[in-house]
Amino acid sequence: MKLDEIEDVEIDNEGKFKYILIKAKEKSTKLSKLLVRGYAECPYHADILEKTEQSVNSSEISLSCPGGGRIERNNYEKTLFVFGYSQGFGQADHSKTVSILKNKFPDYTIEYSNEGY
């Protein structure tokens, strides 16, 4: 699997859920990009990383997590709100997360706060 074959964003369709920012790096080229992953089914931020590792399933790509938080998604109002932190990984740079989300959801209002859990 190559880096450009990995979706930048995979988040649940509605509601409030934990998310992590992931740095994916191609071992052969050293190229990297940031990914956003968030799933309500994962009770811990580490579970999201594990699920992503299983889906990428490539010895050519290394994944690391610089931080996490939560996302609240409302499709009716077309809003995404990024906030909080991960007890295990620390707080993600929410401004980077918002930039990535804006590419995937250009018609949504996307905001963040470094407050809350």
Choosing from 22, 36, 37, 45, the catalytic residue is 45
Strands 15-26 and 9-11, by their bridges, are unpaired
CA 23 to chain centre: 10
- Sequence-distant (6+) residues with CB within 8 A of 78 are 105, 107, 108, 109
- Sequence-distant (6+) residues with CB within 8 A of 1 are 56, 57, 58, 60, 61
Instruction: Give the closest residue to 27 by CA, choosing from 2, 57, 54, 9.
Output: 2
94 is catalytic: no
Active site residues: 45
